[in-house]
């Protein structure tokens, strides 16, 4: 009897998980839109932009942390709805990526504090250079897990005909934007930023699409 009750209660949890995934994806993308620089590693340029947009960066940090938290219930819902090892691996990787995103948000908050009034900005330069160099590489595998997990979940959902094949194809368009952004970064930083945000937008749309699928599955 308890087994039957448990299985019947699963669909009721899916709308919450779906809403959490839509919220996570939306907050993730808006957080990066609020950041004054995407893909910038020059310390002095980072300080200049963060100092001029401190409130926006703080808001971005809050949204990024909220997004990371929302991925937890979302991943649980995806595992319940999707079948197979690909989906399980994708959910695990997404959660690893969410932890990386939360850690990255703390680094952004650190940048705000480094340029706060009364702080010796020159003394902070070596610290930021390490954070943007060798220390940032510690998070690189987690960033990769975020995108790889998202793609795996999209592929698993498409394979099971829960979403169309257009969902995982969004990643191809996103990669094209990311590659182009890297190529034009020096010549046109503004265009590079827009293309980088487009890449993140394609990923967010794919995730939100899966969230809508979970919401609809829970109503059946």
Give pLDDT tens digits for 170-216. Answer: 999 999 999 999 999 888 888 989 999 999 999 999 999 999 999 98
pLDDT value of residue 43: 86
pLDDT value of residue 219: 63
pLDDT value of residue 131: 86
How many domains does the chain contain in total?
A: 1
* One-letter-per-residue 3-state SS of 104-151: HHHHHHHHHHHCCCCCCHHHHHHHHHHHHCCCHHHCHHHHHHHHHHHH
pLDDT value of residue 69: 98
Structure tokens at 50: 């963060």
pLDDT value of residue 220: 56
pLDDT value of residue 62: 98
Low-confidence ranges of the chain (pLDDT < 70): 1-12, 218-220
How would you class 55 by CB atoms within 10 Å of its CB: exposed for 0-12, middle for 13-18, buried for 19 or more? Answer: exposed
Which domain range does residue 75 map to?
Answer: 2-219
pLDDT value of residue 8: 42
Asked if residue 82 lies in contact with residue 160, where contact means CB atoms within 8 angstroms, the answer is yes
Q: Alpha-carbon distance 197 to 74, whole Å?
A: 23
Find all residues with CB under 8 Å of 220, minimum gap 6, and list them: 11
Q: Alpha-carbon distance 173 to 171, whole Å?
A: 5
pLDDT value of residue 6: 40
């Amino acid at each position: 009897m308890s087994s039957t009750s448990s299985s019947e209660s699963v669909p009721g949890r899916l709308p919450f998980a779906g809403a959490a995934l839509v919220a996570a994806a939306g907050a993730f993308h808006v957080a990066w839109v609020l950041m004054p620089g995407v893909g910038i590693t020059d310390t002095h340029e980072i300080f200049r932009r963060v100092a001029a947009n401190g409130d926006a960066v703080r808001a971005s940090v809050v949204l990024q942390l909220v997004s990371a938290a929302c991925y937890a219930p979302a991943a649980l819902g995806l595992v319940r709805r999707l079948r197979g090892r690909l989906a399980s691996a994708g959910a695990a990787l997404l959660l690893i990526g969410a932890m990386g995103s939360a850690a990255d948000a703390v680094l952004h908050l650190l940048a705000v504090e480094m340029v706060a009034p009364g702080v010796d900005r020159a003394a902070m330069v070596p610290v930021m250079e390490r954070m943007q160099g060798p220390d940032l590489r510690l998070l690189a595998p987690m960033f990769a897990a975020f995108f790889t997990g998202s793609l795996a979940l999209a592929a698993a959902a498409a394979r099971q005909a829960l979403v169309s094949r257009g969902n995982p194809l969004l990643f191809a368009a996103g990669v094209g934007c990311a590659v182009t952004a890297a190529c034009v970064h020096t010549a046109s930083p503004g265009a590079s930023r827009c293309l980088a945000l487009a890449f993140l937008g394609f990923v967010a749309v794919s995730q939100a699409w899966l969230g809508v699928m979970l919401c609809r599955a829970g109503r059946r």
